[in-house]
A and B are shown apart, each in its own frame.
Chain A
Amino acid sequence: MGGKVTCTLGEVKQRADFIVYWGGNPAECHPRHFTKYTIMQKSRFLPRGRKDRTMVLVDIRETKSAKAADTFLQVKPGKDFELITILRAMIKDQRVTDAQIEDTGMTREVLDKLVDQMKNCKFGCMFFGMGLSMTRGKHMNSAALLTLAAELNAFTKFVAMPMRGHGNVTGADVIMRWQTGYPFGITFNRGYPRYNPGEFSTVDVLVRGDCDAAFIIGADPGATMPQPAIDHLKRIPTICLDPHITHTSKLARVHITTAPQGIAAPGTAYRMDELPLPLKPALKSPYPTDEEVVRRINEELQKKPFWMPEGAPLTMTAHG
């Protein structure tokens, strides 16, 4: 396991003749995804548009996206990891029994056809949503699909891409990655970045009560995180930067209203394929931008003595 096989949505639009949506409902959550990038577009390599493309939807219930799909596969809830693992075995011609397949809500005929389509397409693309990545198994469900996509490259070109949510979440990952080498779950307490999701990821830190202050930009953990995390945010000094009054700003000690990005503040947003897009503001806002607030906080921090003592930081090397 390792690495991610991916591409831009432009390549999907131009070349992808086989598209799988797994655990997502793009018709309702990403309504322009079909028409702009995936199934509806005509291109040089797929001149007949929708007729040249095949779409498969895998989900636990029949959503509105199922109408757009050529094949809808209803997987039993909580069996995504098992189903992807079966597919990994089947593309390598390993023997899986019918009973084992039926346990995931599928039949052998359906999976044989799916494996056949996956192996014989010219350019396959899998998009996965929160139905996969946020159900039991979490990161391993995503890892399973990414591994399946990587292994399918033994037969044909295949990529996998998460369907990201609202806001610039991809941007946060990308910037963290090129600045530190890690996308999230990072600590700087030793003066250099260390990565360990589960130990340093925001929700785990808050649930365990491992931090004594919180600084939140452009997110609303007060509405989305589990109750112990919200309780801890109430206990500690929480600073919230947001254009709106959110659940988080109601429990924060300080709320700073900022100009909305893309509307009144310029900047760069990252599309779900990690392509940076410049934002030009159309309106003026009386409020400062997020960047200005953070810069001014930084300037004040510079006036304080540096928190690391003189000399090299005490590093922990891998083997003592």
Chain B
Amino acid sequence: MSTVFRLKEQPNVPLEAEVLCPDTIADLSNAEIRQLTVFHGKRQVPLEDFFDVEGDGSVDMELHGDLKKVRWVARAMTKGSVTVHGDIGMHLGAYMKNGRIDVHGDASDWIGAEMKNGLIHVHGNAGGQVGAAYRGDMQGMKNGTIIIDGSAGLEVGMRMRRGTIILGGPARDFCGLEMKGGTIVLREGAEIRTGAWMRRGTIISLKPLQMMPTFADSNEFNPTFLNVYAKHLQQYNIDLPFAADAGSYQRFAGDLSVPGKGEILVWNPA
């Protein structure tokens, strides 16, 4: 049975709650969980000041309420699942190593930042820096999957090294900034400067993009790996077109300023 957390009082400054993580609560009793320390601004307070806790600890967690100001949930989780009903604050699933996070609502910035593995599925919109590297770090997410049904903000997948980000809605500027590997799928395109300074990796867009001037238009084709990739994505109910009779992909290589070996594939329906 999963452990249920209900936000009972809206924090008036950010609440840093990295203890809301399956690894921390799995072996604790209900009373012990209530006494875990969270940071309300600079003040250390017990978790029960802000949350009603139902059930003993388990690897499966459910969070309810408007959690926009609750940060660092599921930080570095290695197992189990976290389900959020409502909006969630920054750094959700940062450094996560395994497990699954579902958000039925909107997420904020830095979700899945520097994650190693696992799955994050946001059913609403997300903020910026999805799967990105923290400031000063060289590598963002190293593996795993982030699926966002809605839109996302600036610098999605900034410096990501490996893994997959799939956006159902549009992304804002600097999507795939300084990317070093991995794949970003943009179902609704992005604003400007997509793939700026990328070294390696693939950005697939199903809508036309405004390209950076330092990308070279190379050729139009149907890459073989996309058949395999589309089949892999079917498990998440994501349709990626690949058949030659449906259209083809325009390939742009760059970013020449680095100079990088990244590619942006833009779908061109027949």
Contacts and interface: CB of A to CB of B under 8 A. Distances in A.
A58 B41 CA distance: 44
A196 B108 CA distance: 15
A307 B42 contact: yes
State the main secondary structure of chain B at its contact with A.
Answer: loop
Contacts of B37: 314
Interface in A272-311: 307-309
B112 interface: no
B96 to A, nearest CB: 9
A95 B216 contact: yes
B174 A88 contact: no
Interface string B104-131: 0000011000000000000000001100
Contacts of B44: 308-309, 314
A308 B43 CA distance: 7
Tier of interface size on chain A: 35 or more
Contact of A320 (B41, B75, B90): B75
Contacts of A316: 18, 72, 75
A189 B213 CA distance: 43
A94 B257 contact: yes
Contact of A189 (B12, B23, B42): B42
Given A82-B213, A319-B76, A212 B259 contact: no
A196 B134 contact: yes
A212 B16 CA distance: 16
A318 interface: yes
A212 B197 contact: no
A177 B109 CA distance: 25
B190 to A, nearest CB: 14
Interface stretch (A13-21, A96-104, A119-127, A156-164): A96-104
A211 B13 contact: yes
B18 A86 contact: no
B263 interface: no
A228 interface: no
A173 to B, nearest CB: 15
A202 to B, nearest CB: 15
B109 A136 contact: no
Contact of A85 (B13, B41, B75, B213): B213
A121 to B, nearest CB: 21
A34 to B, nearest CB: 31
Contacts of A178: none
A92 interface: yes
Contacts of A307: 42-43
A188 B42 contact: yes
A312 interface: no
B141 interface: no
A210 interface: yes
Nearest to B24: A320
A140 B174 contact: yes
A29 B174 CA distance: 31
A137 B43 contact: no
Contacts of B95: 318-320
Contacts of B7: none
Given A314-B37, A319-B95, A81 B109 contact: no
A197 interface: yes
A112 interface: no
Contact of B213 (A100, A195, A210, A319): A100
A293 B251 CA distance: 62
A316 B174 CA distance: 29
Contacts of B109: 198-199
B41 A189 contact: yes
Contact of B256 (A82, A95, A195): A95
B268 interface: no
Contacts of A140: 174, 177, 193, 196
B178 interface: yes
B178 A210 contact: no
A196 B214 contact: no
Contacts of B197: 85
Contacts of B173: 136-137
B169 interface: no
Interface in B23-66: 23, 37, 39, 41-44
A133 to B, nearest CB: 15
B76 A320 contact: yes
Nearest to A190: B39
A319 B113 CA distance: 12
B69 A210 contact: yes
Contacts of A225: none
Contacts of B18: 316
B128 to A, nearest CB: 7
A94 to B, nearest CB: 4
Given A82-B213, A86-B214, A316-B18, A195 B135 contact: yes
Interface of A: 1-2, 81-82, 85-86, 88-89, 92, 94-96, 100-101, 103-104, 136-137, 140, 188-190, 195-199, 210-212, 307-309, 314, 316, 318-320
25 contacts: A81-B193, A85-B213, A86-B213, A86-B214, A94-B214, A96-B214, A96-B256, A104-B213, A137-B173, A137-B174, A140-B174, A189-B16, A189-B42, A190-B16, A190-B42, A197-B135, A198-B109, A199-B110, A210-B13, A210-B69, A212-B13, A308-B42, A314-B37, A316-B18, A319-B76
Given A82-B212, A212-B13, 4 more contacts: A89-B255, A308-B42, A320-B76, A320-B95
